[in-house]
Structure 1
């Protein structure tokens, strides 16, 4: 099982669902946290500083430690990986390398203009790329 985690509310909901699934299935969990400097650099016209990249990596490592620690405290066997690149590229590579049958990822429901102008949800692109793997897209509960 693979959990994509970044400490957002949606990722926290995905962590909760992943922990339930892994305990029910007695499944090992790989947790990845993605440092997407490519997209960040594109949004700031290529002016992303080394400090910003280091900060992004530190945040990813912290998020990874939180998720792996949570799973291990529940008795789940979990390993963490920091990946560099666009999520749509690195997630399928990890799935192929480690044979993950289930991918758990948080999903933010877009509203208003974001539905029209925002990016396509990643789980839709993953569904096209990950043949044979189940994708569990988890939304955060309403407050």
Structure 2
């Protein structure tokens, strides 16, 4: 199994679902935390400095450690990886290398105009790239004012 984890409420929900599936299937889990500096740099007008990049990497390592520890605490064998690049590209490369039968990731549903301002969700790109791999997309309900 492969879990994409970034510490958001959506990825925490994906972690819960992944742990349930892992226990039921007696499957180990690879946890991937992605440092997507390119997207962050684009959203801040190309002004991402070395300190900010280092902070992104530290945050990814910290959240990755939390996820691996949570899985280990309930008896699941988990390996953690920090990867660099766009989420869909990183996950596709990892999946092609390690060949997981199942990929679990969180997704934040967009409402209103924000649907048009965002890039395609990673799970859509992954479904097109990784034929034959089961992708479990876990969502969390939208707040009332979204």
Q: Quick check: 2:109–2:142 contact (8 Å CA) kept in 1?
A: no
Residue 65 of structure 2 corresponds to 65
Q: Which ranges in structure 1 are unaligned for 5 or more consecutive residues? A: none
**Structure 2 partner of 1:90:** 90
Structure 2 distance, partners of 1:39, 1:109, is 19
Distance 1:64 1:40 in 2: 19
Q: Following the alignment from structure 1 to structure 2, what is the Cα–Cα distance between the partners of residues 141 and 74?
A: 26
Q: Distance in 2 between matches of 1:140 and 1:51?
A: 32
1:138 matched residue in structure 2 = 138
1:1-143 correspondence to structure 2 within 5 Å:
1-141=1-141
Offset at residue 61 of structure 1 (A): 0.4
Partners in 2 of 1:9 and 1:135 — Cα distance? Answer: 18
Q: How many residues align?
A: 143
Q: Quote the Cα distance in structure 2 between the aligned partners of 1:142 and 1:117.
A: 17
